């Protein structure tokens, strides 16, 4: 779909890892698909002393390798490069922002987007400097995570940015919300009458949400050691997925309707009492191990990580929602680094049949598995009669693999979200009150872990985390999906 609005996309952190791996490749894909207005420009901003030719050479060396090679077109690539400008800017020099303003005013008029692919400590200084030269008027500002270190620091950033940009100008990005499978979760729930009667406590026994990574900290030890898995993944990605799974039907798929319903879920999360944290929260840290035949070091041996670090690389939680739809249904959340596989999925376990009229039921139960990565799919498990004499049952599944059913190229998460920013669609971005509710819920856990003498539980790299995470589910008569299989 062609975007008919001229735009200028200003990328702070234009030589950073995120720009290289995600943002610029996503903008290239949008360009290749004819989704950007022909007059739209991309202005990369960084401290590095490049001129335009040198920056384009940097893109050739560092970005081109992250663009899919299957249908690469050199002519299209060169057309994309023709959109790009580069501005060297020192954040401490107000005069550099004046020069930035003058260069932006010389470009075609239209929507102006400022994407802050920087550390959160730079968000407020950049916003204030933009306001000082009048670049905040009518613009859109995109804030990457993490937005703060806790509720107080998050509020401080939001307060300061909110003095400069109105809430409808602020796009707090969570790339999981841009995944095609998350959109299909909304379509599955609210486009089909089939599931709605079952999507409640009377028929759902438990729900699991997992985001597992095989990778470690990948050279970001300094950053990760100050963050940890709870801040890095739970406070945003996992709680956002939870709110979409559990939300009530919105009035329409528009920004405030969707975000209002997500907020109601976040505000309904049962508060975690300090004395109960050990029962409902497990934290772990990976030790040396083997992943796909390769030996990997322990977290404490990673570059930039102190050898006595107590930062968690794994979190498993039992969460409850105190409302009529979900009262009594446990939601089990799990994320970690250096786990056995790279997978993100949502597992809805339905209750067992009330009476086994056909005799002994086989292992397993009705469940819906929504795979977010690596291969997006939806799979519904049910029981069927095996061929032959008698009533022997077996678990079978109905499968929707998106790449097999839909032949169109699917947009990557960042591509979708960047187009939404340019087109002014806020539904897939996090509103401030959502963010506050999420921080408020996780903060007691953060505080308790900060005061505990005992550190995270060890687990070997290449496994599924500490045994305590499995024991937590066993207390509720269930197990993680891979353990059943």
Phi, psi (deg, nearest 5) at residue 8: -125, 120
Q: How far apart are CA 420 and CA 177, in angstroms?
A: 12
Q: In the numeric block, which tokens belong to residue 277?
A: 């944290």
Q: Which residues contact 129 (CB under 8 A, 6 or more apart)?
A: 91, 94, 97
Q: In the numeric block, which tokens belong to residue 278?
A: 């050990």
pLDDT tens track, the chain, 485 positions: 455 579 999 999 999 999 999 999 999 999 999 999 999 999 999 998 889 999 999 999 999 999 888 778 899 999 999 999 999 999 888 899 999 999 999 998 899 999 999 988 899 999 999 999 999 999 999 998 878 889 999 999 999 999 999 999 999 999 989 988 788 888 888 888 888 889 999 999 999 999 999 999 988 888 899 999 999 999 999 999 999 999 999 998 877 899 999 999 999 999 998 889 999 999 999 999 999 989 999 999 999 999 999 999 999 999 999 999 999 999 999 999 999 999 999 999 999 888 777 766 666 678 999 988 888 888 888 887 778 777 777 778 788 776 677 666 778 899 999 999 999 999 999 999 999 999 999 999 999 999 987 889 999 999 999 999 999 999 999 999 999 86
**Which has the closest alpha carbon to 368: 153, 184, 179?**
184
Cα–Cα distance list, 388 to 268, 277, 381, 383 (Å)? 49, 51, 21, 15
Kindly state the helix (H) or strand (E) to which residue 88 belongs, with its residue range.
strand 84-88
| CATH code of domain 7-172 | 3.40.50.720
Is residue 232 annotated as involved in ligand binding? Answer: yes
Q: In the numeric block, which tokens belong to residue 197?
A: 């009667």
**Is 20 within 8 Å of 66 (Cβ atoms)?**
yes
| Delimiting residues of CATH 3.30.360.10 domain(s) in the chain | 177-411+431-484
Q: How far apart are CA 454 and CA 452, in angstroms?
A: 5
Whether 476 sits among the annotated catalytic residues: the reply is: no
Is residue 213 annotated as involved in ligand binding? Answer: yes
Is residue 447 annotated as involved in ligand binding? Answer: no
Task: Name the residue with tokens 């409902």.
Answer: 280
Is residue 90 annotated as involved in ligand binding? Answer: yes
Is residue 337 annotated as involved in ligand binding? Answer: yes
Q: Is 7 exposed, middle or buried (0-12, 13-18, 19+ CB in 10 A)?
A: buried
Q: In the numeric block, which tokens belong to residue 62?
A: 């560092």
**Is 119 within 8 Å of 222 (Cβ atoms)?**
no
Is residue 179 annotated as involved in ligand binding? Answer: yes
Q: Is 395 exposed, middle or buried (0-12, 13-18, 19+ CB in 10 A)?
A: middle
Q: Is 198 exposed, middle or buried (0-12, 13-18, 19+ CB in 10 A)?
A: middle
**Domain 177-411+431-484 coded CATH 3.40.640.10:** no
Q: How far apart are CA 114 and CA 64, in angstroms?
A: 23
pLDDT for 359 equals 66
| Delimiting residues of CATH 3.40.50.720 domain(s) in the chain | 7-172
Among 31, 237, 287, 295, the active-site one is: 237
Kindly state the helix (H) or strand (E) to which residue 483 belongs, with its residue range.
helix 481-484
**Which has the closest alpha carbon to 19: 148, 115, 114?**
115
């Amino acid at each position: 779909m062609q975007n008919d609005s001229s735009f200028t996309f200003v990328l702070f952190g234009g030589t950073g890892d995120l720009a290289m791996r995600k943002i610029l490749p996503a903008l290239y894909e949008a360009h290749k698909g004819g989704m950007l207005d022909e007059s739209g420009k991309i202005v990369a901003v960084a401290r590095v002393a490049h001129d335009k030719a040198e920056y384009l050479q940097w893109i050739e060396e560092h970005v081109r390798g992250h663009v899919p090679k299957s249908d690469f077109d050199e002519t299209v690539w060169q057309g994309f490069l023709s959109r790009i400008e580069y501005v060297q800017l020192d954040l401490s020099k107000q005069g550099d922002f004046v020069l930035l303003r003058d260069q932006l005013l010389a470009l075609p008029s239209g929507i102006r987007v400022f994407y802050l692919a920087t550390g959160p400590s730079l968000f407020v200084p950049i916003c204030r400097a933009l306001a000082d030269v009048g670049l905040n008027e009518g613009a859109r500002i995109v804030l990457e995570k993490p937005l703060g270190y806790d509720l107080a620091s998050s509020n401080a950033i939001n307060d300061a940015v909110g003095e400069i940009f109105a809430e409808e100008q602020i796009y707090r990005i969570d790339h999981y919300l841009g995944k095609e499978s998350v959109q299909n979760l909304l379509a599955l729930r609210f486009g089909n009458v089939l599931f709605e009667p079952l999507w409640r406590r009377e028929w759902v026994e438990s729900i699991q949400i997992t985001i597992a990574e095989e990778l470690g900290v990948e050279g970001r030890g300094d950053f990760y050691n100050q963050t940890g898995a709870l801040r890095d993944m739970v406070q945003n990605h996992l709680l956002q997925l939870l709110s979409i799974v559990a939300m009530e039907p919105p009035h329409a798929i528009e920004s405030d309707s969707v975000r209002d319903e997500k907020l109601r879920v976040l505000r309904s999360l049962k508060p975690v009492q300090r004395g109960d944290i050990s029962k409902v929260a497990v934290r772990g840290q990976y030790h040396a191990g083997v992943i796909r035949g390769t030996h990997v070091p322990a977290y404490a041996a990673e570059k930039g990580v102190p050898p006595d670090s107590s930062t968690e690389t794994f979190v498993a939680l039992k969460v409850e929602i105190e409302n009529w739809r979900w009262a009594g249904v446990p939601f089990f959340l799990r994320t970690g680094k250096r786990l056995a596989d790279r997978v993100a999925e949502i597992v809805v376990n339905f209750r067992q049949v009330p009476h086994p009229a056909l005799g002994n039921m086989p292992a397993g139960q009705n469940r819906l598995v929504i795979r977010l990565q690596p291969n997006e799919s939806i799979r519904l498990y049910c029981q069927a009669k095996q061929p032959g004499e008698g009533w022997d049952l077996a678990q079978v599944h109905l499968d929707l693999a998106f790449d097999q059913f839909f032949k169109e190229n699917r947009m990557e998460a960042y591509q979708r979200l960047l187009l939404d920013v340019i087109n002014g669609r806020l539904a897939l971005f996090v509103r401030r009150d959502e963010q506050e509710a999420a921080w408020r819920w996780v903060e007691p856990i953060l505080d308790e872990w900060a005061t505990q003498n005992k550190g995270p539980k060890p687990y070997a790299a290449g496994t599924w985390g500490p045994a305590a995470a499995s024991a937590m589910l066993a207390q509720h008569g269930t197990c993680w999906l891979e353990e059943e299989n």
